[in-house]
Amino acid sequence: MHHDSIAVVDFGGQYAHLIATKVRRQKVLAEILQPEDPISKFKQHKGIILSGNPSLSSFGEDSDYNKEIFDLDIPILGFCFGHQEIAKHYGGNVMNGKQEFGRAQLKINRDHPLFKGLSSSEQVWMSHNDTVTSVGPDFEELGFSILGEGTEPHHFAAIGSDKYRRYGFQFHPEVDDTTHGDEMIRNFAVEICGCSASWEMEQYLEEEIEKIKSRVGSGSVFLLASGGVDSTVAARLFGEALRPEQLHLLHVDNGLMRKNESEQVLKAFKDMGLDANLHFVDATSDFLSALEGLVEPEQKRKAIGDTFVKVFEREAQRLGLSNHLLGQGTIYPDTIETGGTKRSDTIKTHHNRVQIIEDMIAAGKVIEPLADLYKVEVRELGEKLKIPSEMIWRQPFPGPGLGVRLLCSTGTLNDAALIPEIADEVAAVLVNTSFVGTVLPVKSVGVKGDLRSYEHPVMIHGTADWNKLDEIAGTVLKKVRGINRCIWNLSPSMPTEFRPLAATMTKDRLDLLRDADHIVMEGLRRHGLETEVWQCPTVLLPLEIDGHGEELCIVRPIHSERAMTATAAHLPIELIEEIRKEVLALPKISGLAYDLTSKPPGTIEWE
């Protein structure tokens, strides 16, 4: 079936993919194209959206892309950087300066199809360095922005030419902080481009089944079935498309699973009728051997990904599967954060994108039916496939499992001399508050702009008041350099001495993390929060605190929709007290803290 579609030009990072999924939520197909793609790839679409990226500038090499798109008789809408490029191309001016970051009010000058159904004042989200200062002939200012009452207006926040069918928004309608951004995107796709809303999950399901049948033919698919949402939906989808003898599921206990996880996963697949060729292998020794002595997060991820493939190949040979494709439940964020787009930096390497997998993809040996979907869409597809809701709405669990939640260390830091300087900045920010804070002598992975950061967490201690905690965390993260996380101390008093310990991936440490994670997850279930909280990693850091214990435990409950952004969830204080009592009683635990960090600047996982 042919679907009207919008081409989203990917100028890097997460923005193009957020736009694409928002277009698709309007039941209009969106496809990601690269700025340098040939013009023939654009001609088949009914509209083009130029993504934004606050890291890009309209001055210099960032502006080097295929400008033949402007010669097409197709409507074009630009966001942020794309907005500036449209203004420049048609005779307007852009200057470097007059930055805007955060929420603003868009004041709409007149009725226009782009703003159909909206009010004359709309909350939007700004994040830019360059600014449009004038527009060319046949263009007009459709709206200006203000950051607050009494502030100077920021002109040309929305521009357009109905003659050329070219439009631009300085703001980001694709982010949730632009209150009616979805409606603006829908208006462009439907009202301006004339797209019919024919792309929906039922249709996607039918088409994907046909694609799988065509791709696999008489061969077979061998899927690594972790039991997470993505691999479960992929397994069920393959089960719909293929004959039972064509689908083999392999559940690998990699020693990095949660408590009793493997038993629960195998039972769930049997209950769904996917046990005709359901295989199980305990490969704990393989993974722990591969991880022995490793400390760096990227090295650990690579070792886990490589070992998965080696176990898979070994089991495939043992089972006599010669003409198989490796099935994976890879979804959009897995490839975005691995640097899967041309202008995005690697935030982290996903275990589905280590080099051995990339080589297999190039050789045509991998099939990934969910690679165009975000988590919310995967869950919608799972509902269409009638997968039990407890499996669809379970919290996401990373493929590397506890391997990215058990931090390792050499016991030393290269930039330890900088910690006192950062600590002074923290103290200055907190000086007139009831909170105290300190910098931890460990590092975690974060994301700033679209770049990976590997920086220190700050621990704060103070009142259990969520409004104050959010305010303090936001201020510290905004004003203090060299940090990417803010955690709230849940121990009775603020620690005074932290000593990083040398630690690697061992069974004893994993068992301790399993126990701590089990306490947290059972607490969420008791309080009916298992699905309300989108994800809740429990993390161990090898830290001796005030001469006590060996592991600082971090609880990280978050709210999210697509894993691209996240905010810290507010657990009931009663539940926090229950977790505090049980976790601090575990052997070798030196302390407990609560991660208050949004994404960005902190990734959801600590590695």
CB neighbourhood size of 276 (10 A): 12
Distance from C-alpha of 312 to C-alpha of 326, rounded to nearest angstrom: 9
* Coil, helix or strand at residue 79: strand
* CA gap 196, 280 in Å, rounded: 46
Q: How far apart are CA 205 and CA 312, in angstroms?
A: 27
In the block, tokens 């009725």 appear at 111
Please report the DSSP string for 565-602 in residue order.
Answer: SBEE----HHHHHHHHHHHHTSTTEEEEEEE---BTTB
Helix 375-384 and helix 201-216, axial crossing angle in degrees, nearest 10:
90
Q: Of all helices (H) and strands (E), which one includes residue 250?
A: strand 247-253
- Cβ atoms of 476 and 486 closer than 8 Å: yes
Element (H, E) at 177: none
3 token code pair: 């679907």
CA distance 256 to 496: 32
- Alpha-carbon distance of 441 to 411, in angstroms, equals 9
CA 551/CA 175 separation, integer angstroms? 37
231: number of Cβ within 10 Å: 22
Alpha carbon distance 414, 439 (integer Å): 15
Q: What is the largest CA-CA distance in the chain?
A: 73
Give the separation between CA 444 and CA 287, rounded to whole angstroms.
22
521-546 exposure pattern, b = at least 16 Cβ within 10 A, e = fewer: bebbeeeebbeebbbbbbbbbbbbbe
Active site (catalytic) residues:
80, 172, 174
